[in-house]
Chain A
C-alpha cells in the first residue's frame, strides 16, 4: 500500500517531518445573524417556494398532510413529532419500519415520503436531516414526493447557526444531509427538469 510513500512525498515537499504539529489554522468563520422567529419563518417559506417547493404553516399539520397525500400511499419516518401530530395514524401511511430491506421496498413503491427534520435553514429554505433510528435516509429520497413536518422552533437562520449548534455532525450521526428544494437537473441543453433521481416535489409544513 502506498500510505507511507505518499506521506513521505508530502512531507519531503513541504519540509515537514512525521509528527510535526500543524501551524495554527485560520480561526473558524461563523457569523450567526440576529433574527426573530417570524422573520426566519417568512424567509424560509419564500425560499422554498422560490425553488418550486410548497411551504405552509399550520396549527393542524395532520390535516395539512392528509390534504397533500389525498388518499395516495405514504411512508412516514419514526420521528416522534410525526406520531405526536397524529400523522402516522393517517390511513394509507405506513410507519414504524426498522428493517432496512422492508423500509427500502416500502419507499420504492410509496407515492410520498413523510419525515420531520432536525432543523430548517431560513436563508436558503434547506431541510437538515440527520440519520437516526427516527429518520431513515431513503424516506426523503426514493418516493417521488417528500413532505417534511417541522416544529416552528427548529428554524435556524442558516449554515452558520447550524454549524455552531452541530460543530461535528459525525459525532451525532453517520449521515447529515441538507436538502434545498426538489431534485433537479439542467444537463440537457440547460433546461431545468425536476425529479431526476430524488423527489420532484417537496413540501415543508411548519407546525405552530
Chain B
C-alpha cells in the first residue's frame, strides 16, 4: 500500500464530519435500494439480474460484432462513430471539431468516462470553456475536485461548503439553503445551455440494433446538453454496448433501483442520430457523434474471469454497501472509480503496480457481489488481483519476512503436537485484554508485516482451555 493511499485513508478516518456525511449518504442510498428491489416491489428482481448478466456476458464475448453493428446503425441515422484508443485521441477529435465549427462553449452532462480521461482539463488548456451541468459535478468543477462517488459526486460537500464555493466563484452572496443554491446554479447554467455550441454527454447504454445512446438522469441537464446545442457528442467506453433496444426493459428496471432506489430515473433519453429535419422534427442537434473509447478496456478482455469487470453499469450500489468504502470514502481511492468496482477496475486499467494496496482495500465480505445488478463476482476478481500483486512482489523479492511467517504458520498447522503446544504457549503469554479483546501485542511481537496486520485488527484472548482439551475431557 502506497504512503499516499494510507495517508488519505487516515485523513478520512480522522474527519468526523466527513465520516458522518459518507455514512449517512451511502446508508440512505443503500436502504432505498433495498426497499425498491424487495420481493413485494420487484418480484422478478433475481431473474432480471440473471438476464442482465447473461446479456452483458454475451455482448462482451461478441463485442467486435456489436461494435460494428452499432456503428452501421449510427451512420444509417446520420450520425458518426469516432474510435479512440485513449484520452489524447478523444481531445484531439473534439478540439478539431470545435475548431472547424468555430465552437467556444461546451456544456457537459455527467460522465465517468470523461472524468477518466480528464476531458475538461484538456479542453480548457486549449482555450475552450467546458462547463459541467449536473449540480454535483458543477460544484466540484468550481472546487477543482474529482467525484467522490460514482452516482453522488459531491456527497462529501455540505451546504456550507457549497455556499462558500458559489460565493467565491459566482460572486453571489453566501446562500446556505439547498433549494436556493440549486436556483442559483439553474440560472447560471441555463444561460450556458442556450449559448453553448457543443454538448458532450456520456452514455449509460449503447444500443447496437438501433445505433442509439441511452442516457439516464434526474436533473434534465443531460436532456438540455443533448438537445439545445447544434452538436451532440456522446463519449462512451466500448463496453457500454447492449444488443437490442428491447434489452432496456431489463436494464432500466435495475439501474435506477440499484443506484438511487428510484423505479426509473426522472429522464431516460434514447437518442439515435441528429434531428431528422427531413421528417419534420423541430428541434435537436444537427450533428451527432459517438466516441467509442478503449483506454485500457481491451486489456480486460482476454481473461474470462476478469472481463466481467466490463459488465458494470456504474450504479454505485457496491460503494453504498461496502463497509470499507463507507469508512475510507471516495477520495482515498487513487483514481476516479472508487469503492469495490474501483478496486477491480483501476488495477486492470492502470496495472496492479499503480496502487498495489487497492485489491486489499476490501474485507471480502461479499456484499458488493450480492448487490451488483449485473452479478459481477467482485470478490472473486479482487482475490485474483491480490494474487497478481503478491506474485509481482515475489518476483521483486519483497516480503521475505511474510513468506517466512507463512511457512512457519504452515508448519505449525500441519504438526498437531506443535499446534497444541503453540496454543498453550499463547494462552500463557497472552497480553491483557481490553473489553474482551486483545488490542495491542507485546512489543517483541509487534514487528514487520505482523504489526501492520494487527494495527487494524483485534484478537479474542486465547481461552484457558483449548477445544482439544475440552474434547479430551468429555
Contacts and interface: CB of A to CB of B under 8 A. Distances in A.
B283 A100 contact: yes
A67 interface: no
Interface string B236-274: 001000011111111011000000101111111111111
A107 to B, nearest CB: 9
Interface of A is mostly: loop
Contacts of B154: 187-188
Interface stretch (B1-9, B174-182, B396-404, B464-472): B174-182
Classify chain B: how many residues form its interface, as a range.
35 or more
A14 interface: yes
B266 A26 contact: no
B364 interface: no
Nearest to B135: A187
B89 A23 contact: no
B284 A159 contact: no
B281 A132 contact: yes
A195 B301 CA distance: 42
Nearest to A123: B263
Contacts of A197: 133, 186, 189-190, 193, 219-221, 223-224
Contact of B178 (A98, A103, A133, A193): A193
A14 B61 contact: yes
A23 B62 contact: yes
B211 interface: yes
A16 interface: yes
B145 to A, nearest CB: 13
B211 A174 contact: no
A137 B227 contact: yes
Interface in A153-208: 159-160, 162-164, 167-171, 173-191, 193, 195-199
A198 B68 contact: no
A173 B219 contact: no
B64 A175 contact: no
A196 to B, nearest CB: 4
Interface stretch (A27-35, A54-62, A84-92, A110-118): A27-35
Interface of B: 21, 24-25, 28, 44, 47-48, 51, 54-55, 58-59, 61-68, 73, 77, 82-85, 89, 133-136, 139, 152-155, 157-159, 162, 178-179, 181-182, 185-186, 189-190, 193-194, 207, 209-212, 218-221, 223-224, 227-228, 238, 243-250, 252-253, 260, 262-276, 279-284, 292, 294, 298, 301-302
Interface of A: 1-3, 5-7, 9-11, 13-14, 16, 18, 20-23, 25-26, 28-31, 47, 97-100, 103-104, 108, 123-124, 126, 131-133, 136-138, 141, 159-160, 162-164, 167-171, 173-191, 193, 195-199
